[in-house]
A and B are shown apart, each in its own frame.
Chain A
């Protein structure tokens, strides 16, 4: 087998050193009644060439670009990824190394992640970003638990316009803790209704997503102030990181902790994972942050170098008192994001974000012209909600046959919003694509 280098001679001479007759005898410490005596019932090994065929067949059943025009975001976004990023991400020194516990031979990963922390913090206007978390949902859950630890209060308020699947993850994380999660309703303008906060004096945190699940931009400054009036921490969440290439950052609007999703930054959708949980806070709360942190320092010769630091927060030292149980994170995804941000650049990211916004406005306008309702009038970035006429389900199916996926139906998540669909337009959609969508939807 090509990944098992031992020859019969190798095995024989090694067994001799051990004074053992055969490989089975190596398992003498496994009690007989623990041993599995049969063969694993798994398919026979495929050659590399058979595997290629098998996987291509599976891959070809999937409905993706360029055949399909998928106008869906909702936490998973289609963006162009430069060939240079994919190429660099294939460097095996990045791919096949592990956590930089021995910093002297991991300076590549360490500097790269230090750079990622810096760029992510700058994107979000925050002071410190961690080396990554699993995804936006778990980053949000950890941000809320962090707020509980810091304030010692046992309740959090989260907007009902935070991604429904993120809210479910938060509920799952909070279930055994005894801490309470309350949801803030939304207004007919498509943003969070914070009036309920008036009566809540015991909140560890208030969490808002912006742009929210309906695509609308929330007034983080205003909501943050409301949270701070109640001495709660303000947590901002996001699913579309690219928005902050254009929009005012959460940090500049009084956010204490940010927990969101970085998949838009150079990471393919990949059916939802691996993703990139971005977690950031002010320096004040640095020691409460979960996850790894890379710091800059000097070596014995005075040369600049990088190390994992503030490790006493983490599980391998603090064990049951750690800020989290996280060990393996999503480092290579963070690296992809850093490479992407480096490639796009400060000037480029604003242009790209603007393009996303303008294309989305075009589709919005065309759909409005075609007589479809845009129920929420708050400004949006690259997603918005359309109200199609009743019975549109059949229309959606018809579009599917034309290989156009016209948005995500909101009914499973917001049953009160019948025939409402969430559409997304990124730089990957052309004017022609959008005109085709409008044409087909009208017919």
Chain B
């Protein structure tokens, strides 16, 4: 029943999806992509991908266009901040979305 069998002496975890729970429900705004503006889509290539590079929670998957795992996205907005063409915008949760992430 106890925790002694986990073998840890310190607080430690292996990075993996969901290790801190479903953190997507912390979100107050969601990253929303306008695919027609996304450089990867426009060039039909794995171009840019800065949102994937910068996402601190590994919620962005590389792709044409990149996709987001909203189950874990906390809505920090870094992806929208680094997007060079303003294709990603943060939309408050509960408002109608401008496009699919």
Tell me, yes or no, whether A binds B. no
Chain A interface residues (CB < 8 Å from chain B): none
